[in-house]
Amino acid sequence: MYSSRRILSRFAEFHRALGSYPHLVCYAVKANSNLEVLRLLARRNAGFDIVSGGELFRVLQAGGKASRTVFSGVGKTADEIDYALRSGILMFNCESESELRLLSERARRLRKNAPVALRVNPQVNAATHPYIATGLKEHKFGLEMPLAEELYEQAQEWPGLQMAGLSCHIGSQITQLSPLPRPREADRDGTAVAQEEAFRQIPGCRRRLATSYRQEDCPLPFRIMPSSCFGA
């Protein structure tokens, strides 16, 4: 049993919190890929974050738009990449050279341009459970800044790729505000690839604020997101 009113109110709250900032609120399909839930959000013109070709299929079946969908995750297959490219995916998030080379090869073969954001590891402690933290070097998620800089510059010359910016994800169940601004600062100042032009196109700000599992829990209000993500 899911509450459509609750889902839509949370989506609207997130959208309102970002206000005039250029943004796309994406629902993580892996959280719940129920078609009715996806349809509910698709009718509100929501974006979607996927990690497989199967999830893209469900988004499209539910009336969602590939042009408002971001393909994240590791281990994308050639078939999944082809499917996403043919569907007109908004962007790929990539976090390895091998993945980027495969994407370039498939885009070239299909004569498509693939918008890409590199996932970087910002070296930020999200102050959450260690099993769901992803922002430190020991977590092995994303590219270290020096490698991201080198790869970003090289990939701009590779066929089929349109380098659009950087992405970072520091973890889930975030209950404190202090870690949030730092990835943005790290992305901007820690490496030369964080070009202002790229960030104006697609600034990657991916966070998972804490969910209330108990009545006494008090989740972070969405209204703090603009200042936390963009330094407003």
CATH number of the domain bearing residue 128: 3.20.20.10
Q: Which domain holds residue 54?
A: 4-230
What whole-number distance in Å separates Cα of residue 175 and Cα of residue 212? 10
Whether the Cβ atoms of residue 198 and residue 164 lie closer than 8 Å to each other:
yes
What whole-number distance in Å separates Cα of residue 48 and Cα of residue 83? 16
**pLDDT tens by residue, the chain, 232 residues:** 789 998 999 899 888 887 887 888 899 999 899 999 999 999 999 999 999 999 999 999 999 999 999 999 888 999 999 999 999 999 999 988 999 999 999 999 999 999 999 887 765 554 554 544 444 454 455 577 778 888 999 999 999 999 988 876 654 455 555 545 444 444 444 433 333 333 334 444 444 444 554 555 555 555 555 555 555 4
**Burial of 183 (C-beta count, 10 Å sphere; 0-12/13-18/19+):** buried
Alpha helices (runs of H) in the chain, residue ranges in sequence order:
4-18, 35-42, 53-61, 78-87, 97-110, 145-155, 181-189, 196-201, 225-230
- What's the total number of domains in the chain? 1
Q: For residue 60, what pLDDT is reported?
A: 98
Residue type, 145: M
Q: For residue 207, what pLDDT is reported?
A: 46
What whole-number distance in Å separates Cα of residue 102 and Cα of residue 76? 9
Q: For residue 119, what pLDDT is reported?
A: 83
Q: What does 15-35 look like in DSSP terms, one character per residue?
A: HHHHTTS----EEEGGG---H
Whether the Cβ atoms of residue 168 and residue 119 lie closer than 8 Å to each other:
yes
DSSP 128: S
Q: For residue 147, what pLDDT is reported?
A: 82
- Which tokens in the block code for residue 6? 């609750």
